[in-house]
Chains A and B, each alone.
Chain A
Amino acid sequence: MSDADFDDREFHPRGTVLIVTLFVLLLIVLWGSVYVILLARGTTL
């Protein structure tokens, strides 16, 4: 597809959806791993 064929109205950010989905997975894994470290280190009450 060249510039001339590019149709603004037909543009759907599917690649963006893929990237932000990967971002969410990464967020869950990395955040979750610190949360697990918290749980493993014991309570503070």
Chain B
Amino acid sequence: MLATYELTTGQKRFIWHHLLVAMVALAIGTLFGPLQAFEHSGLDLYKYLDPVIKSYYQGLTLHGVLNALIWTTFFITGFITLTTIKGLNRPLSHPKLNQTGFWMMVVGLLTAAVPILLDQATVLYTFYPPLQASWAFYVGLTLVVVGSWVEGWGFYLTFYQWRKENPGVRSPFITFAGLVTMVLWQFATLGVAVEILTMLLPAALGLIEGTDPELARTYFWFTGHPLVYFWLLPAYISWYGMLPKQAGGKLFSDSLARLAFWLFLLLSVPVGFHHQFVDPGIPQTWKAIHAILTFGVFFPSMMTAFTVIASLEYAGRKRGGTGLVGWIRALPWNDPSVASQLLAGILFIFGGIGGLTNASYEVNAVIHNTTWVPGHFHLTVASAVTLSFMGISYWLVPHLKGKKLYSAKLGVIQAWTWFIGMLIFSNAMHVLGLLGAPRRTPLGEALYVPAEWEGHLLRVAIGGAILFVSAILYFWNIYKTVRNPETAEVEVPIAESREDPQNTPAWLDSWKPWLIATVLLIIVGYGPQLYFMIRDISLTSPGLRLW
């Protein structure tokens, strides 16, 4: 189906506001990245930030909350607004609902930001109790999540209206995939919503005397793993549904792209115990079951690897590339959006391998809570996701603002510097993790650091510095684009599929069976253990502020 509907100025502004909040969050959050990296090599710049930022940990909290929670959530809801409107060729059915959701998210962000900046919520982005932040932190996070739900409802209603008018027509892939992402998010965030509303917030308000930390961890990781798919799937939407067009080709298989999204919905929640492999209080059997299910959710990513690479090969050959690898060179590497996403995909190869290692039951004990883990998720959320989002913004910002991208060349350089910086940084973090370095720890002041870590700690700092330069190049380019006197009409790249989507089997475009299966699998995967943990709940850990 051809995308003929053009966004109105108001719709563009609405999506732009999402991106603006996202990019401001990323800009502030990224400032702390090099501070942490430099600290590891013995150069502590945090002491110069006092009294604004009190500690390494406050900076780390800002880095995690702003980059992993705010940048992602705002960018994604904005992006899915676009994929809903452009895919369905129609405006949102209830724009006021979506605006309400957006403003709830903004109010939530501000509410959470105050205690973080006042050093009243230095609990990192996992906020494990009984470390206790100000109540405003929990209220703010809840508002961000609920606001994103409200925006999601706006997407569902829009889709529902389209479906009523277009029975039997295959839903456009980018819209379908965006909706799956939002549905997944709403299942996922039930865990953290229950955690905050039944334990953390009442405890912070003094209504209950304490929390049950192991139960809280279980609620948190109910959300925590599908959260990473909430981040990742919008990148996949672009890789499947847009990048082939940008590269000059077509989506290799519409059916398998949809199948992959359904499998992500189905399998991404009942896998959370793989974040709790070394926790007490959870039976080994359940840990093993979740390990196997996590292996299952690795499968659609392997499918994605094939389909996306094949789509790119198709494009490269169409552009005249020949031979087994010649098509790679034929891809438009001088397009910053394409280069960003290709490099993001390459980094994700290593992210995926590390992820499977994390999920491998007792193998997790080798690297649990070491620097391996942030090394890993900087390849996933900070590369596959963030570098892809940067790539998307190289056409999306011009599209929304009607401006020409300031410099394509600078964008390509930015993508490569991110790639190189991240290779150095994450490799050093992985090696340090294997050597036993704990994560989220100012290693520059730790007394147990052996000499063999030092060279790698220096590489962490070098990688961090390169990444910081790359971030500056990114924001400079975006800023100059927004201020660019040169206007341009930039289209939303929507890839066609090689096969007519209408030939995709109906069961791959039918919500009911997949939703039922998802709910059942969550009940099977979490029900029994959660039942026992809630039955045996003991709120015996009073909140503490130890920073």
Contact = CB atoms under 8 A, between A and B. Distances in A.
Direct contact of A and B (CB under 8 A): yes
Interface in A1-45: 1-3, 6, 8, 11, 13-16, 18-20, 23, 26-27, 30-31, 34-35, 37-38, 41, 44
B313 A13 contact: yes
A41 B364 CA distance: 13
B309 A19 contact: yes
A1 B320 contact: yes
Contact of A18 (B305, B324, B360, B434): B324
Contacts of B323: 15
Given A8-B498, A20-B305, A34 B317 contact: no
A18 B354 CA distance: 21
B318 interface: yes
Given A19-B309, A20-B306, A30-B353, A11 B360 contact: no
B314 to A, nearest CB: 6
B349 A26 contact: yes
B317 A11 contact: yes
B305 A34 contact: no
B367 interface: yes
B328 interface: yes
B476 interface: no
A13 B252 contact: yes
B314 A13 contact: yes
Given A31-B357, A38-B362, A41-B366, A18 B325 contact: yes
A38 B363 contact: yes
Contacts of A44: 362, 365
A20 B349 CA distance: 10
Given A11-B314, A13-B310, A15-B328, A34 B320 contact: no
A26 B302 CA distance: 14
B153 to A, nearest CB: 39
B327 interface: yes
A1 B324 contact: no
A38 B366 contact: yes
A40 B360 CA distance: 16
B322 interface: yes
Interface in B345-361: 349-350, 352-354, 356-357, 360
Contact of B322 (A1, A19, A35): A1
Contacts of A19: 309
B319 interface: yes
Interface in B290-319: 302, 305-306, 309-310, 313-314, 316-319
Given A20-B305, A31-B360, A38-B363, A1 B317 contact: yes
Contact of B353 (A6, A8, A13, A31): A31
B43 to A, nearest CB: 30
B363 A34 contact: yes
B324 A34 contact: no
Interface in B252-305: 252, 302, 305
A8 B319 CA distance: 13
A11 B349 CA distance: 25
B306 A34 contact: no
B470 to A, nearest CB: 25
Interface in B428-454: 434
A31 B359 CA distance: 11
Given A3-B320, A31-B357, A38 B314 contact: no
B310 A37 contact: no
26 contacts: A1-B317, A2-B320, A3-B319, A3-B320, A6-B317, A6-B318, A11-B314, A13-B313, A14-B324, A15-B309, A15-B316, A15-B324, A15-B328, A20-B306, A23-B305, A30-B353, A30-B357, A31-B353, A31-B356, A34-B367, A34-B434, A37-B366, A37-B434, A38-B362, A38-B366, A44-B362
Which 10 A-B residue pairings sit nearest by Cβ, starting from the closest?
Answer: A13-B310, A16-B310, A16-B309, A15-B313, A6-B318, A30-B353, A16-B313, A13-B313, A34-B357, A15-B324
Interface of B: 252, 302, 305-306, 309-310, 313-314, 316-320, 322-325, 327-328, 349-350, 352-354, 356-357, 360, 362-363, 365-367, 434, 498
Interface of A: 1-3, 6, 8, 11, 13-16, 18-20, 23, 26-27, 30-31, 34-35, 37-38, 41, 44
Given A2-B320, A30-B354, A37-B366, 14 more contacts: A11-B314, A11-B317, A15-B309, A16-B313, A18-B324, A20-B302, A20-B305, A23-B349, A27-B352, A30-B357, A31-B356, A34-B357, A35-B363, A38-B362
